[in-house]
Structure formats: C-alpha cells, structure tokens
Amino acid sequence: MAMTEERQGPPASALEHRGKNWAPADVERDLYDWWERSGFFTPPAEPAPGERTFVMMLPLPNVTGDLHLGHALSFGGYEDLMARYHRMLGDATLYMPGNDHAGIIAQIVVEKELAKEGIEKRTGLTREQFLAEMWQWMDHYIPRNNAQLRMLGCSLDWSRPNFTMDPAKQRAVRHHFIRLYRNGHLYRADRIVHWCLTCQTTYSDLEAKHEDRTDPLYYVRYPWADGAPDGAPDVIVATTRPETIVADVAVAVNPADERWSRWIGQEVLVPLVERRVPIVGDEAVDIGFGTGALKITPGHDATDFEIGQRHGLPVITAIDPRGRMTPAAGILAGAERNAARKKAVEVLRERGLLIREEPLTHAVGVHDRCFTVDEPLVMKQWWMRMPPLAAPAIDAVRSGRVRIVPAHFEKTYFNWMENIRDWPVSRQIWWGHAIPVWYCRECDEQVVPEPDGPDPVKCTRCGSTDLRQDPDVLDTWFSSALWPHTTLGWPDRTKDLARFYPGTVLETGYDILFFWVARMIMMGIENMGDIPFSTVVLHGMVKSGTEKMSKSRGNVVSPVEYIEENGADALRYALVNGVSLGADQSFSDARLQNARNFANKLWNIGRYALRAVEQRPDAFASHAVDARPPLDGLEAPERWILSRVEATVAEATRLIESYNFGEYASLMQAFVWNELADVYVELSKPGLRDERRADGVARTLAYALDRSLRLLHPIMPFVSETLALQLWQGRRKSDAAPSLVVSRWPAPAARDLALEERFALLAEVVRAIRSLRQDAGVDPSDRVTVALGSAEALRWGAEHIASLTNADVSFGGGDGTATVVRTVEVRVQVRRDAAAERARLEKELADTRAAADRVRATLAKPGFAERAPKEVVAKERARLAEREERIRMLEEELARLR
C-alpha cells in the first residue's frame, strides 16, 4: 500500500511526549493507528525461504455487546503477548481477527431490545423483518468490538476481516453440512432433546447446566392392574414431577433388586389416567433412590427415553413446546406445567394415592442462556453422529500432535470425548445459518443440493415442485467449529490455506474446551485431514464474585473505562501478572494500581536513561539489538547490570516459550523495578557525574533500557514503543526496524555469574537496611550508621551500599537494630522502642525456624539424598546451614535485649 513519508513515520505524540508521568491517553490511539496503517500486523505477502509461521485465530467474540475483562485477559493479555513475541522472533505471524454471530444469545439480546419498544419477535415481525433488525445490531457491534480490540492493543491482521455470517462463511457452512451428510455423519431423527420454554429452541448437552434446588419429592402409589399378586408390595414411585405421571408408559426396577425382581412383567395402573403399563427390569435404575421403582416417561426424561428404547416402549408427549399440557394429559390438559403439578398433587391426594412427600435437594437442569428449567421433549431434529468424528481427535491429543496447556485439562478432554454423545445441531430460531435441506410436501423426501449448486426446485423422488426449506438454523458452534480453516478460504484451496494451516496456537478459556476446541479439532481433521493447531492454551476465568463474567448473565465489566483511566498496558499487565495459566482470578483495584505504578516506573527509568543518552550522543549510536557495550573499562555496577539483563533475556524467553505468562510478567517487574531501578539507576547517578565512568554508564543505561523495552513489548506495547522511539530517534541505521512491533527479540549474551552472586548479596543487604530504616521511621534524607558483621565478601561494595542506603558503613561489631541477611549480621543505629524491637526479632526468629524446618523435612524425605541430583541436595544443605546460622545470630541478638 502506497503511503506518504509523513504518514509512514511514527506519530508526533509519541516522539514528543515528555511528561513527568506516563500519560497513555496521549499516545495510545496514535500509536495503534500508525502500527495498523504501516502494515506491521500483516505477515509478508509471499513466504520467504525457510519461513517459520505463527498462526493464531482470535477466539471470535460474540456480537452481543461490549467486550469484558475475560476478553481483555485472553486477547490483550495472553494472545497479543504471543503474537508480538513471535513477530519479534521473525516468524510470519498471522493473528486472525473475527466476530461470531452468536446465534441464540444474539437473538435473545435483540428480542429484549425489541421488547422495550413493545415488539414481540414472533408476532410483531416477519422473519425477514426480524433478520433485518439482527443485521442492524451486527452493523453496530462488530465495529464496536473491533474498536475495543484496538484499544487493548491487539496486533490483529485487520486486512483479513471475518464474520461467521459473511457470504464466504455461509458458503463454507453449507459445504460442511452437505459434506457431513453425504459422509453419513448427519441424520434426522425423533429423539429426546433439551427444550427451552423461554427461548423456544432445542439446545445441546453442553448448554444444559444444573442448579441445586430443593423441591418436594412425592411418593405415589401405582395400583396393581389386576389386584396385588400374593406377597406383592405396594408399588410406590418417588418423583419430583408428578405432572408427567400422565405420560408414564412403564415402571422400571433393577433386576438385581431383590425387592422387585420377581414382579418384573406384571402390570400396574398409572395414576390419574389408569393406563395399564408393565414393570420392566433395567440396570439403569438406581436401587438406592426412593423405593427402587422408577416411573418411565420417555417423552419427558432423557434416561427414561433410553430405557424406553431398550424395551420398545411407546412415547407419550404430555407437555407441548409452550409448556402447556397436551390432550394426552387427560385431566391436566390445557394447564401450564407448574399449575399442572399442583393440580396433579391435589388429585393424587384426593384419591389416596399420594403416600407422602419430603424435601429433596437435587440438581435441576436449566438452559445456560436464560436459566429456564429444562423441558425434555421428543422432537425430530438434525443430529451429528459424534463417536466416529471424536476418535481421530482423541488420538491427536493422546499422540501429542495436539498439546493441551495446562496438561491436567487433557484428562477432562479425554473424559468427555470418550463418552461423547450425538449432537443435536438444529435450532428453532431465526438468526443463524440456514439448514440446506428441503422437504417435499408431497412425499416428505429430503432433498439436499450440491454444495455449490442452486437451491432445489423439485423433488428428486416424485418430481413435485412443492418444496419447503427446513425452517431451523444450525447451532452456533456448528459454524465456529470451522474457524481455523474457513478464515483461510476453505472450501477453496487458497494460498492462505496452504501457507497458514495448520495453525500454531489456539488460546481460549477452559470453559469452552468442549463447546469449541474439541469440535474444531474434530472438524479440522474431518475437512482438512490434519489438526487445526498444535497447541491449545487454556486460561482461567476472570470472575465477578463467584461466577465467570458472561454477557448473557449480565455481570460483565467492560475494559474500556479501565483503559481510558489507566491505559491498556496497565490493564493487560494487571490481568496477567502472577496468575498461573488456567487459574481463575478476581480482578482487583490493587493489582491495577500496581500495574499502573509499574508502567510509570518504567517511564521514569526511560526518561532518566534518555537524558543520559541525550547528553552523550555517541552512547547509543544505533539500536542494533545485540550491540552490547564492550565490557573493558566498565566498573562492577555496569558489568553486573549487563549480566542481569542477559539473565532476564534468557529467563523471559524460557517463560514465554513454556506459556508461563504470569511468571514472565512478574520477572520483568522484579528486574526493572528491583534491579534496574532500585539498584543500578541509583548507582549510575554518581557514575554519570564522573567523567571517567560517564560514557560507559550512559552506554549501559541505553543498552539495558533498549533490551528491557523489547522484553516488555509483548505485554506493555504502548509505553515500551514510546520510549523505544524516543531512544532510537536520530540514532537509527537506515535499515533498522522502524518499530518495536517488527524489531528483533534479543538473544542472551554471556553472563558473569560470580559477579551476579556478589551483587545479589549486596542487594539483599541494601533491602534489609532500607527495611530497618523504614521500620524505625527514619526520614530518607537522614544519614544513618550501618555496621556489617563478618562480611568480608561485601567490602568491595561498601561504597555502593552506602550510596544506596544513605549510610556510613563499617565492618565488624556495632550497636543498633539488627537483622541477618544470609550469614551477615546487619545493624542500623537508630533509636527504637525495645519492646517493638524484641517483637520484630521474635517474629523473624519464628519465621526462620519454620523455614529451617521445611528444609530439614525435605532432606529427611526417604530417598531424597540418594535420588535427587547432587546439586539440588547440596543447595538444600547450604540453605539449611544458612538458616541455622541466622537462627543463632537472632537468638544472640534477643539475648542481648533481655
């Protein structure tokens, strides 16, 4: 795309932002517009020789309203982190955008909006009028969703927009349905389904949730049809749904139940309708529930339906799709199901057939979209035959071709897939993909066209032209299961499909492992002959109270206000930092405050380093990622921070590669704040005033900042880009990357482990001194006296300790408040309350003893010393010796205070 030089350059708002504090609102929109306009998010048009690809599909958000914090975690947290990281590695990175039409959820939302205007969908509008309302909703929320993804900083390839109801996707879904039908995977049959009285549609097992409720359990006597046989007990059945008694066709008992086995084959009368029905034996009956006798109502219970199929029992439908009792319900006909329940109980009581009732707490099935109590009904529906499709998908995970992270979710995957049931895919709503099947009104023949052929106009069996298309639509998950290959052009064999399928990673919430992930694996293998992605990364839920955030539940928190107030970087970082992959979280203001403070800390460090570089123009001649300053002539602090930079590069890379994103975020804060800012920046201040050291310090600051910004870019793209652009401004080579987005991820260089260890002890001592000062209420500007006991290993750093703690440092004995760091006694001479000092030391002693006990327990484990690696055992023994020495010193200090 041709652009003017002016438009190609970085935005002035980022280059000129010089505020004391990081002000994300001033630069984020301009930066994102520049990134997108420059084509940074679009992979090269043609593959390079030996190209590596990284392909990840956005878990397409539903077009039912604004995004929520769960989306922010997934899209702006984990996914964009991976996309930016792999782009910096040089991989041809395709992060594919898109939106889902959301089927029943979207229809419910629009129906509610219409109801506010007094319009009832099925009576106030024709189907065409209602679909026009749906498209108007889509036209409003698709751009709105996409704008919020941009606000989050998601580096999606916007040159490839996708929507599950766009013409290309409708064609692909039609192809898929017809292909499955021709291959014997789809069939139409009368079977029991979950029916929602509110939404007026079927739904799958996965959308049937359960809520614990307490209802009356009614014990009802079923009279013997021909009088009680000799020795026969009363047949008493326990039920929570007496209104369905009128549809009973049998009483079932377990053949192993000695109470009932001899009466199998006898007949009883169904109360309320006095229908003669048999007693049948079936192992599915729970001997321990109720009396051991189970009423069988195949028309209104899934288990009963299966028992009925095994025994050839008829099906009676006593409740219609509107929740009214049918004529088959006899004296209950016409009543609403809850009213029918009350009437049934009254009649049973009047006839002396209600033996007793007692409360029962049980799991009641509800529709997860509207929480209406499930009404199982037998209906003719389209079904997908799942076991043959599941088998290769099970093998894909078991063989390791598809990896699930965290790994413990594999057990959940196998449990569901190995017990999978056929899936009802038709839905009785108006919004969605039409089922491409026509029925002949003359002979009831099913007419299925060719995938790219015209709609049929006459019956293939009798030649009649009186055809009607199936009025139902397909379940939303039917179309979204095709996402990894339809977004790349399937069913056509496109260049994108050849280049980017199979993908690399699918990241999503663990709650849709079966709804979506498993179905994508099945359909990818079925249509493409190959897995759709090699790794599934599952994140936990961002909860509102104890529930996950969900648009359909109305408990979502939008990320927009958080971003407007704190910036996208702070929100992204707060959602990821310290959270284990797959773990649920409750978002807090404290975490957001920490993230905002960290972004501001990074900004301040960057501005400090930039001032140093601006004063010494040669300190950062280019921004080549591996242009490390020569170590010759550098002082210990510079050599130490350079070594720590390399350690952080190696560890950050390892953590991202192993999907430990929460640890990666924590690592970066620990390095930037605790080491770069709190230690090196402070040590660099006198160095910049020393002409002998100043150039080396400036070069070191520039290099450390440059690498830190690259490492932070995946999680905090805006502040890192702003600082990088200012650092690089006027100092770039002509062929250098114009943006962090397309810059190179650093590779770790050599480290000085001995120096790192020396500084690690120094840093711990500095933190201890600062803590003692703070506990004693010493003003930061006041100088104190510090005595370090047997600490020969620290003499080299006395000047640094003094500089970092505003203290006069001596070695050997001394007075004052004491603590122990490793084996070093640290005393700070301040006035302090003796009782408070004892309390502090006693707490520290108790904590140290507990820590020592834990190490002893580890060393005492049977076989640990023999089987564990020698270096691990040695490390544990050294840790114990260190804690024991600390205990000794603390005990001595307490003795001196007594």
| Digit-coded pLDDT (tens) for 236-259 | 999 999 999 999 999 999 999 999
What letter does residue 745 receive in the DSSP assignment?
Answer: P
Residue 1 has pLDDT above 70, yes or no: no
Residue 182 has pLDDT above 90, yes or no: yes
Residues 6+ apart with CB under 8 A from 672: 598, 601, 602, 605, 708, 712
- d(Cα 663, Cα 590) in Å, to the nearest integer? 18
What letter does residue 377 receive in the DSSP assignment?
Answer: E
Q: What is the pLDDT of residue 552?
A: 52
Helix/strand/coil for 426: strand
- d(Cα 374, Cα 196) in Å, to the nearest integer? 6
847 membership: H or E segment, kind and range: helix 834-860
Q: What is the pLDDT of residue 733?
A: 64
pLDDT band at 105 (very low <50, low <70, confident <90, very high): confident
The answer to whether the beta carbons of residues 56 and 79 sit under 8 Å apart is yes
Q: What is the pLDDT of residue 838?
A: 81
Strand partners, 447: 438
Q: What is the pLDDT of residue 550?
A: 58
User: Beta 824-829 vs 275-281: how paired, if at all?
Assistant: unpaired
Q: How far is CA 522 from the centre of its chain?
A: 21
User: Measuring CA to CA, which residue among 497, 494, 555, 424 is closest to residue 96?
Assistant: 497
- d(Cα 256, Cα 261) in Å, to the nearest integer? 7
Of the two residues 150 and 843, the one the predictor is more confident about is: 150
State the Cα angle at 715 between 710 and 717, rounded to 5°.
65
User: Taking residues 661-687, what's their average pLDDT?
Assistant: 95
594 membership: H or E segment, kind and range: helix 589-615
Q: What is the pLDDT of residue 839?
A: 84
Of 369-373, 441-445, 617-621, 826-830, give the lowest mean pLDDT range. Answer: 617-621
Start-end of H helices in 152-285: 167-182
Residue type, 744: R
Q: What is the pLDDT of residue 831?
A: 59
User: Measuring CA to CA, which residue among 283, 319, 326, 323 is closest to residue 303?
Assistant: 283
Residue type, 669: Q
The answer to whether the beta carbons of residues 723 and 602 sit under 8 Å apart is yes
User: Measuring CA to CA, which residue among 239, 235, 328, 233 is closest to residue 275?
Assistant: 328
Report phi then psi at 426, rounded to 5: -90, 145
Q: Could you read off the pLDDT of 698-750 as tens digits, one per residue?
A: 999 999 999 999 999 999 999 999 999 999 887 766 567 899 999 999 999 99
Residue 441 has pLDDT above 90, yes or no: yes
The answer to whether the beta carbons of residues 862 and 842 sit under 8 Å apart is no
Helix/strand/coil for 406: coil
Cis upstream peptide for 406 (omega within 30°): yes
- d(Cα 160, Cα 182) in Å, to the nearest integer? 31
Q: What is the pLDDT of residue 554?
A: 56
Q: What is the pLDDT of residue 735?
A: 62
Q: What is the mean pLDDT of the chain?
A: 92
Residues 6+ apart with CB under 8 A from 613: 619, 620, 698, 701, 702, 727, 731
Residue 671 has pLDDT above 60, yes or no: yes
Interior/surface letters 768-778, b for 16+ CB within 10 angstroms, e for the rest = bbbebbebbeb
The answer to whether the beta carbons of residues 667 and 655 sit under 8 Å apart is yes
The answer to whether the beta carbons of residues 103 and 368 sit under 8 Å apart is no
pLDDT band at 781 (very low <50, low <70, confident <90, very high): confident
Q: What is the pLDDT of residue 545?
A: 52
Q: Could you read off the pLDDT of 513-565 as tens digits, one per residue?
A: 999 999 999 999 999 999 999 999 999 999 765 555 555 555 568 899 999 99
Cis upstream peptide for 502 (omega within 30°): yes
Q: Could you read off the pLDDT of 843-881 as tens digits, one per residue?
A: 888 999 999 999 998 888 888 888 888 888 888 888 898
Of the two residues 369 and 162, the one the predictor is more confident about is: 162
Interior/surface letters 597-616, b for 16+ CB within 10 angstroms, e for the rest = ebbbbbbebbbbbbebbeeb
Q: How far is CA 218 from the centre of its chain?
A: 43
Q: Could you read off the pLDDT of 375-425 as tens digits, one per residue?
A: 999 999 999 999 999 999 999 999 999 999 999 999 999 999 999 999 999
Contacts 24+ apart (CB under 8 A), 884-892: 884/852, 885/820, 885/823, 886/820, 886/822, 886/823, 886/848, 887/845, 887/848, 887/849, 887/852, 889/789, 889/818, 889/820, 889/823, 889/825, 890/820, 890/841, 890/844, 890/845, 890/848, 891/845
Strand partners, 424: 383
Report phi then psi at 585, rounded to 5: -145, 155
Report phi then psi at 142, rounded to 5: -60, -50
Q: How far is CA 685 from the centre of its chain?
A: 44
Q: What is the pLDDT of residue 7?
A: 42
Task: Kindly state the percentage of the chain with pLDDT values over 90.
Answer: 73
Residue 482 has pLDDT above 80, yes or no: yes
Q: What are the C-alpha distances in Å from 327 to residues 194, 272, 320, 525?
A: 22, 13, 10, 48
User: Taking residues 327-351, what's their average pLDDT?
Assistant: 96
The answer to whether the beta carbons of residues 143 and 135 sit under 8 Å apart is no
User: Measuring CA to CA, which residue among 656, 653, 613 is closest to residue 746?
Assistant: 653
pLDDT band at 777 (very low <50, low <70, confident <90, very high): confident
Strand partners, 584: none
Q: What is the pLDDT of residue 457?
A: 95
Side-chain-side CA neighbours of 309 within 13 Å: the count stands at: 10
In angstroms, how far apart are the furthest CA atoms of the chain? 113
